[in-house]
Structure 1
Amino acid sequence: MDLKVFGEIIREKRSALRLNQDELSEKSGVAIKTIHSIELGKGNPAIKTILRLFDILELDLIVIASKP
């Protein structure tokens, strides 16, 4: 999956839950800078980071990974 698409999914879900990046950072323990980079489709986040964000955002890794 393209990192930009992945970042868009994270950003859209965060917005749908009415969370700003600061709130997501606080809830997940992931640095704001890292969240910002992920949402821009930059960087190479660790799987542990991705799983933390998915848990807070109630996203299913299998469903997202199967998207083209």
Structure 2
Amino acid sequence: MDLQVFGQIIREKRNAIGLKQEELSIRSGVAIKTIHSIELGKGNPAIKTILRLFDTLSLDLLVVASKNNQK
């Protein structure tokens, strides 16, 4: 998966539901620095981190994967 696209999807969903990075961090248990890095398309997040973000943002892995293939 393209990390730039993945980060963009996370940022767009977070903004769409009106969360700041800090709020997403608190709700998901993922460090704010990690969220910032992911949204910039940097780093290589662990699957546990990805699943926490998906759960918090109500994202579906198949939907994200299909969006990644379209971009």
* TM-score normalised by the chain length of structure 2: 0.92
Which sections of structure 2, spanning at least 5 residues, go unmatched?
none
Residue identity over aligned pairs, in percent, reads 79
> Which residue in the other structure is 1:30 paired with?
30
> Quick check: 1:63 aligned with 2:63?
yes
Which sections of structure 1, spanning at least 5 residues, go unmatched?
none
| Deviating 4+ runs (over 4 angstroms) | none
Deviates more, 1:14-23 or 1:58-67: 58-67
**Separation of aligned partners in 2, 1:18 and 1:66:** 24
Deviation (angstroms), 1:66: 2.7
**Structure with greater proportional helix content:** 2
* TM-score normalised by the chain length of structure 1: 0.96
RMSD: 0.7
